[in-house]
């Protein structure tokens, strides 16, 4: 069974007002802890990101989805506890509902990004969820990338958790994805056809000078530059750990299904990056409450029908991994209770205050509800 690793980015916020706070160092290097020894596994428990109002953690590679959920719960609670030492907490929100002026991390790489990309970098306070799935080789990885492209927008719809931007309702379920796509390398790609063509394309992009390094290859899905994995990057950080695990299970199933199709000699769907970009926009706008673009036809269809098509597409892989019932149950709860975006809007209707929305979501994050 393929191993899976999950990366989550969290907002650091005031426990009192819900305002995003530039306190990432409190979570990354808490004052009450001694300096870690080299090789200590806690040394990289949390990492700084582009803005000082956010932190990131990554799970170790695991095969059982229950173990991944336990790890996410543990890390979220630990992040909240560390932030609490400074009167702050963390929230699994993909954008800040409350207006914020982000504070750029002063590391060399991030300063380069700010200098070269201007407002795109300075405004980029978004929190995503990235899923790594093990692949046997770059050849297998690129074959999978070419075959999962039409389905990635559905994951954006399922994970939508960023309806608010700078104090306003954006009208989107995943506004994070719209802000993220300002990066010059972000978004869907054409099919590559081979690992060699993939690597030549990446090298050519870096050679333009618009990107500092291969870490700025922000495709919707890419080969990891550090690990023998394929990385899917289209999801918002999810309000609930169970939704994160749902995304992780679906990504692994998509990888398994695509790899089997490649080995059977079936070609990838002939879909342009332009159409995929439209499908991504539609998913970000609608979430699960409106129409999506059906990956089988690239035509508009009800969200419930498209999600059912995704489940049918990966059913065999989910059955083989033992994840089918978990995925069905979580999708059912998500349909009943709503995505993160729907729950945020419901909280605003109830409390009439975006600060209260953040505080309630932070409470849910700390308790890992």
pLDDT digits (tens, 9 = 90+) for 103-157: 999 889 999 999 999 999 999 999 999 999 999 999 999 999 999 999 999 999 9
Q: HEC states along 33-65?
A: CCCCCCCCHHHHCCEECCECCEEEEECCCECCH
Cα dist from 33 to 29, 81, 90, 102, 294, whole Å: 8, 13, 19, 27, 50
pLDDT band for position 45 (cuts 50, 70, 90): confident
| pLDDT over 50 at 38, yes or no | no
How many whole angstroms separate alpha carbon 109 and alpha carbon 92? 25
DSSP conformation class of 294: E
Stretch 24-51: mean pLDDT, rounded?
A: 68
CATH number at residue 329: 3.30.590.20
Q: How many CA atoms lie within 13 A of 184 on its CB side?
A: 17
Q: What is the secondary structure of 110-130 as a DSSP string?
A: HHHHHHHHTHHHHT----EEE
What average pLDDT does this structure show over 22-45? 65
C-alpha span between 161 and 174 (Å, rounded):
6
Q: Which residues on neighbouring strands pair with residue 302, listed in sequence order?
A: 291
Query: What mean pLDDT is predicted for residues 26-32?
Result: 77
pLDDT band for 367, please (50, 70, 90 cuts). confident
Domain of 287, in residue numbers: 4-367
Give me the chain's average pLDDT, please. 94
Tokens 């995929």 label which residue?
A: 276
- List pLDDT tens digits, range 186-226: 999 999 999 999 999 999 999 999 999 999 999 999 999 88
What share of the chain in percent tops pLDDT 90?
91
Run of H or E residues at 195: helix 195-207
pLDDT band at 44 (very low <50, low <70, confident <90, very high): low
What whole-number distance in Å separates Cα of residue 29 and Cα of residue 144?
38
> Sorting pLDDT into bands at 50, 70 and 90, what band is 43?
very low
pLDDT (tens digit per residue) in 307-338: 999 999 999 999 999 999 999 999 999 989 99
Q: Number of structural domains, the chain? A: 1
- Complete DSSP assignment for 196-250: HHHHHHHHHHHHTSSSSSGGG--BSEEE-SSSSEEEEEEEEPPSSHHHHHHHHHH
> Would the pLDDT of 39 be above 80?
no
């Amino acid at each position: 069974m393929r191993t899976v690793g999950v990366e989550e980015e969290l907002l650091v916020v005031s426990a009192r007002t819900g305002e995003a706070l530039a306190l990432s160092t409190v979570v990354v290097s808490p004052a009450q802890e001694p300096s870690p020894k080299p090789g200590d596994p806690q040394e990289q428990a949390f990492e700084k990101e582009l803005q000082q109002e956010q932190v990131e953690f990554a799970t170790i590679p695991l095969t059982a989805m229950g173990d991944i959920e336990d790890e996410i719960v543990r890390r979220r609670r630990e992040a909240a506890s560390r932030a609490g030492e400074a009167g702050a907490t963390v929230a699994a929100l993909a954008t800040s509902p409350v207006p914020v002026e982000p504070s750029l991390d002063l590391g060399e790489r991030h300063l380069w990004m700010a200098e070269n990309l201007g407002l795109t970098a300075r405004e980029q306070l978004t929190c995503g969820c990235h899923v790594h799935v093990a692949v046997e080789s770059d050849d297998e990885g690129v074959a999978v990338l070419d075959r999962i492209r039409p389905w990635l927008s559905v994951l954006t719809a399922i994970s939508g958790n960023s309806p608010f931007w700078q104090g306003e309702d954006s009208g989107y379920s995943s506004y994070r994805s719209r802000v993220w796509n300002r990066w010059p390398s972000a978004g869907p790609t054409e099919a590559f056809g081979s690992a060699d063509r993939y690597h030549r394309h990446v090298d050519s992009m870096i050679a333009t000078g618009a990107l500092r390094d291969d870490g700025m290859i922000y495709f919707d899905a890419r080969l990891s530059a550090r690990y023998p994995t394929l990385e899917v990057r289209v999801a918002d950080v999810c309000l609930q750990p169970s939704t994160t695990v749902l995304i992780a299970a679906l990504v692994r199933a998509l990888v398994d299904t695509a790899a089997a199709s490649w080995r059977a000699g079936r070609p990838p769907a002939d879909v342009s990056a332009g159409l995929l970009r439209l499908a991504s926009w539609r998913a970000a706008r609608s979430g699960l409450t409106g129409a999506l673009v059906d990956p089988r036809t690239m035509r508009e269809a009800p969200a419930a029908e498209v999600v059912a098509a995704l489940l049918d597409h990966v059913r065999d892989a989910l059955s083989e991994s033992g994840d089918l019932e978990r995925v069905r149950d979580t999708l059912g709860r998500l349909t009943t209770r709503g995505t993160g975006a729907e729950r945020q809007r419901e909280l605003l209707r109830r409390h009439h205050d975006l600060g209260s929305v953040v505080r309630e979501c932070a409470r849910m994050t700390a308790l890992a509800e």
